[in-house]
C-alpha cells in the first residue's frame, strides 16, 4: 500500500513537472507578448508593435485555454489551482478586450448590416495599448468575416466549457448583432484570412470558403447558447436563423476544395475541415479537401498558403503592393512554407483518431521547430528559400535547405503547437477543446422525419376537407399552441439585439426561411409555431395557383428533409383556407 502511494506521488510529480514546463513555455513565448493593461497580444513586426490582430489574438489564447483545462484536470496543490485560475482569467480578459474593441465600433456593426460594404466593416486589428483603432477604414483590408466568426466560435466554446466571458445583457445584445453581422457570409466577398483579397493582391474582395466555413461554424455554435451559462435566462440566449446556416453550407459545398475564384485551394481550409471550425458534415468532401492541400501545397517545412504566393519570397518587391496576374509565375515553386499547417494536420489527426497522421506530422514538425537557448521549442512563422538558391529550387522543387523567417515564435502557430503537445502527453483530451461537440458533425444521423400538421382556417374549410376523407383540426382549437404566419417570426427576430444605448436596431431582414418556421418557439411561456412563408398569400400572389402551390409544397418538404441539421424533428404547419382552393 505504501509502495502504491509513493508511486502515485511520483506520477503526480512527473505530471506537475511537465505542466510547469508548458506553463513556462506559454509564459515565455505567448503571454510575454500581452499588454499589461488590455492583455491583448502585440505584434513583433517592425512598425506594428502595438497592433493587435483579432485572428492572431483569438488563436493565441487557445493555448492559454488548453493549458487552463490541463491544470484543472491535474491540479494536486493550491499552487496548481492558482495557475489554473490565472490562465482562465487571462482567457476571459483577452476575449473581453476584443469585445470592447468591437463594442467601441458598434456604429460600424449597425452600418454594415445595412450596406455590407468594406468601409463599414469592423476593423481587423486594434491598439493593444488602449483598444482604439490603429489604421483608417480604407487603409487596411478590414472586412475579414473569418476573424469575427473565429472570435464568436471561440466565445461559444469557452462559454460552454464553463468560463464566464459575457457579463451584461448589453453585451448579449451586441453579440446577437455580431451574429447578424456574419449571417450573410455566403454572399459577402471579403479580404479573407490573409487580408489581401484576391491572389494578385489588388485588394479585390471575393467569396472565400474559409470565411464562409468559419461563419457557418460560429452560427451553429451560438445557436440557442446561453451566454451566461448556468446563471442565464431566456434573455441571455443567442438566436440564429438556421436558414442562414444552410445557405452557408450550400455555398461552401459548391466552392470546396477551392478557396475562392482566384485561389485553386488554400491551406487555410484546414481550419474549417477540422479544428477549430468542423464546418463540414460530408466526410468525402473533407477527405478531398485535405488531399488537395497535401498534394498541391505541402512541402518539407510546412504548407504554402496558396499557389504562387509571393509573400516573403526573395523575389517579392517590398515596395509594391500589387502584381499583375502574369507576374505571379515568378513565385512558382519558391512560395514560403508555413509550419503552422503541420500543427493543423496534427490536431486533425487527433480529432479523427488517425494515429499515423499524428506521428507523421509530429516528426516533420519537430525537425523544423527551433530550440531556444533556454530549451524552449519555438515555431517560426515560415521558411523561405535563400536568395542565392532560388534557381536551384525552381529547377528541383523542395530540394534546397530553407531558412526560418518572419516572427519567431509565430504566436498563432506556437499556440496550436502547445495544444498538440498537451493532447499528445495526455494532459487534455481533444474533445475537451470542443465542448459543443462540433467534431461529431460527420457522424451518421438518422433519417429526418418531417412532421406535417394540416389545419383548417374555418368550419367551412374543415367540412370540405372532411368530405375528401381528411380529418383536420380548426386553427383556433390548437391550444396551447399559437399559430402565426412567417412574417410574425420575422418581426420577432428583428427585435433581437435591439439596444438604444448602442443604437443597434437588431436584424435588418424580415425574410424567414422554411427551416426556421419548422421549429417551435417558447416566447414568454407560450409555444409559438409558424406557417411557411410560401403559404402567405398576402405576400406572394402565386399561392393562389393551386398547381404551383402543390409543386412548391413538395419541393419545400424535400428541402426540409435534406437540409435539417438541428436536434429534433422539423414541424411544418400548413393552414388551408378557402382562398387557396377557390379555383
User: In angstroms, rounded to a whole number, what is the distance separating the alpha carbons of residues 251 and 206?
Assistant: 13
What is the full DSSP assignment across 512-548? --HHHHTS-EEETTEEEEE--GGG-TTT-GGGG-HHH
- Contact residues for 168 (Cβ-Cβ < 8 A; gap 6+): none
The span from the CA of 119 to the CA of 136, in Å, is 9
Is 262 within 8 Å of 305 (Cβ atoms)?
no
pLDDT at site 574? 86
pLDDT score for 8: 46
What stretch of H or E contains 405? strand 403-405
CA 59/CA 347 separation, integer angstroms: 14
How far apart are the C-alpha atoms of 347 and 353, rounded to whole Å?
10
Residue whose entry in the numeric block shows the C-alpha cell 402551390: 549
Distance CA 267, CA 297 (A): 7
Q: How far is CA 414 from CA 85, 378, 493, in A?
A: 22, 7, 41
The answer to whether 34 touches 43, Cβ cutoff 8 Å, is: no
Rounded CA-CA distance 214/198 in Å is: 19
Cβ 223 vs Cβ 239: under 8 Å: yes
Structural domains of the chain in order of their starting residue, each with its CATH number:
15-442 (1.50.10.10), 451-581 (no CATH)
Between CA 248 and CA 300 the distance in angstroms is: 34
Q: What is the dihedral of CA 425, 56, 208, 177, to 10 degrees?
A: 110
d(CA 376, CA 523): 54
Q: Note down pLDDT in tens along the chain; length 583 residues.
A: 445 444 444 455 688 888 999 999 999 999 999 999 999 998 887 777 889 999 999 999 999 999 999 999 887 777 888 999 999 999 999 999 999 999 999 999 999 999 999 999 999 999 999 999 999 888 888 999 999 999 999 999 999 999 999 999 999 999 999 999 999 999 999 999 999 888 887 778 999 999 999 999 999 999 999 999 889 888 999 999 999 999 999 999 999 999 999 999 999 999 999 999 999 999 999 999 999 999 999 999 999 999 998 888 888 887 776 777 788 888 888 899 999 999 999 999 999 999 999 999 999 999 999 998 888 999 999 999 998 888 888 888 888 889 999 899 999 999 999 999 999 999 999 999 999 999 998 888 888 899 998 888 888 888 888 887 888 888 888 888 888 888 899 999 999 999 999 999 989 888 888 999 999 998 888 899 998 988 776 655 555 667 777 888 889 899 999 899 888 899 999 888 776 666 5
Beta strands 526-530; 481-484: pairing state: parallel
Write down the pTM of the prediction. Answer: 0.93
Helix orientation angle between 209-222 and 145-160, rounded to the nearest 10 degrees: 30
Listed in sequence order, the residues at least 6 apart from 124 whose beta carbon sits closer than 8 Å to its beta carbon are 53, 54, 55, 140, 141, 142, 144, 147, 191, 195
pLDDT of the residue at 10:
45
Q: Name 206's Cβ contacts closer than 8 Å, sequence gap at least 6.
A: 189, 190, 192, 197, 198, 260, 261, 262
**In whole angstroms, how far apart are CA 78 and each of 6, 10, 74, 75, 162?**
20, 18, 11, 8, 20
Predicted confidence at residue 543, as pLDDT, reads 58
**Peptide bond between residue 247 and the one before it cis (omega within 30 degrees of 0):** no
Tell me which H or E stretch contains 388: none
* Residue the block writes with cell 419541393: 555
Amino acid at each position: 500500500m505504501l509502495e502504491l502511494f509513493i508511486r502515485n506521488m511520483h506520477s503526480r510529480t512527473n505530471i506537475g513537472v511537465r505542466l510547469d514546463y508548458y506553463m513556462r513555455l506559454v509564459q515565455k513565448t505567448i503571454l510575454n507578448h500581452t499588454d499589461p493593461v488590455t492583455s491583448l497580444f502585440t505584434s513583433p513586426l517592425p512598425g506594428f508593435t502595438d497592433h493587435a490582430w483579432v485572428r492572431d489574438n483569438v488563436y493565441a489564447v487557445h493555448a492559454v485555454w488548453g493549458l487552463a483545462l490541463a491544470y484543472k484536470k491535474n491540479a494536486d496543490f493550491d499552487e496548481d489551482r492558482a495557475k489554473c485560475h490565472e490562465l482562465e482569467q487571462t482567457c476571459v480578459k483577452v476575449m473581453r478586450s476584443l469585445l470592447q474593441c468591437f463594442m467601441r465600433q458598434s456604429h460600424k456593426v449597425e452600418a454594415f448590416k445595412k450596406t455590407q460594404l468594406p468601409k463599414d466593416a469592423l476593423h481587423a486589428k486594434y491598439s493593444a495599448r488602449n483598444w482604439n483603432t490603429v489604421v483608417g477604414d480604407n487603409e487596411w483590408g478590414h472586412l475579414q468575416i473569418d476573424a469575427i466568426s473565429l472570435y464568436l466560435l471561440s466565445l461559444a466554446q469557452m462559454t460552454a466549457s464553463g468560463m464566464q466571458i459575457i457579463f451584461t445583457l448589453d453585451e448579449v445584445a451586441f453579440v446577437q448583432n455580431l451574429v447578424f453581422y456574419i449571417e450573410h457570409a455566403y454572399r459577402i466577398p471579403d479580404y479573407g484570412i490573409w487580408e489581401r483579397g484576391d491572389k494578385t493582391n489588388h485588394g479585390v474582395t471575393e467569396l472565400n470558403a474559409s470565411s464562409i466555413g468559419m461563419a457557418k461554424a460560429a452560427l451553429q455554435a451560438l445557436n440557442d447558447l446561453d451566454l451566461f451559462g448556468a446563471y442565464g435566462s431566456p434573455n441571455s440566449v443567442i438566436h440564429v436563423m438556421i436558414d442562414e446556416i444552410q445557405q452557408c453550407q450550400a455555398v461552401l459545398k459548391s466552392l470546396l476544395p477551392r478557396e475562392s475564384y482566384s485561389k485553386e485551394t488554400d491551406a487555410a481550409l484546414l481550419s474549417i475541415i477540422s479544428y477549430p471550425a468542423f464546418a463540414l458534415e460530408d466526410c468525402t468532401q473533407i477527405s478531398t479537401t485535405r488531399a488537395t492541400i497535401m498534394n498541391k501545397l505541402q512541402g518539407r517545412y510546412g504548407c504554402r498558403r496558396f499557389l504562387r504566393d509571393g509573400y516573403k519570397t526573395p523575389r517579392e518587391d517590398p515596395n509594391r503592393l500589387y502584381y499583375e496576374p502574369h507576374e505571379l509565375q515568378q513565385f512558382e515553386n519558391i512560395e514560403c512554407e508555413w509550419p503552422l499547417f503541420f500543427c493543423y494536420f496534427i490536431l486533425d489527426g487527433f480529432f479523427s483518431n488517425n494515429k499515423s497522421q499524428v506521428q507523421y506530422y509530429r516528426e516533420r514538425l519537430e525537425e523544423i521547430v527551433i530550440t531556444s537557448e533556454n530549451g524552449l521549442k519555438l515555431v517560426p512563422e515560415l521558411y523561405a528559400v535563400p536568395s542565392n538558391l532560388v534557381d536551384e529550387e525552381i529547377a528541383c522543387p523542395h530540394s534546397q535547405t530553407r531558412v526560418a523567417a518572419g516572427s519567431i515564435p509565430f504566436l498563432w502557430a506556437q499556440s496550436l503547437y502547445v495544444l498538440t503537445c498537451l493532447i499528445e502527453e495526455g494532459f487534455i483530451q481533444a474533445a475537451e477543446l470542443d465542448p459543443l461537440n462540433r467534431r461529431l458533425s460527420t457522424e451518421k444521423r438518422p433519417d429526418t422525419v418531417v412532421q406535417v400538421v394540416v389545419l383548417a382556417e374555418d368550419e367551412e374549410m374543415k367540412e370540405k376537407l372532411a368530405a375528401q376523407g381528411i380529418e383536420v383540426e380548426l386553427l383556433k382549437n390548437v391550444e396551447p399552441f399559437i399559430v402565426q404566419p412567417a412574417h410574425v417570426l420575422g418581426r420577432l427576430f428583428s427585435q433581437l439585439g435591439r439596444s438604444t444605448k448602442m443604437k443597434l436596431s437588431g436584424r435588418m431582414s424580415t425574410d424567414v426561411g422554411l427551416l426556421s418556421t419548422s421549429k417551435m418557439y417558447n416566447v414568454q411561456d407560450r409555444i409559438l409555431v409558424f406557417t411557411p412563408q410560401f403559404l402567405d398569400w398576402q405576400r406572394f400572389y402565386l399561392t393562389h395557383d393551386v398547381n404551383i402551390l402543390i409543386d412548391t409544397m413538395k419541393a419545400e418538404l424535400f428541402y426540409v428533409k435534406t437540409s435539417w441539421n438541428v436536434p429534433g424533428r422539423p414541424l411544418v404547419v400548413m393552414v388551408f383556407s378557402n382562398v387557396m382552393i377557390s379555383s
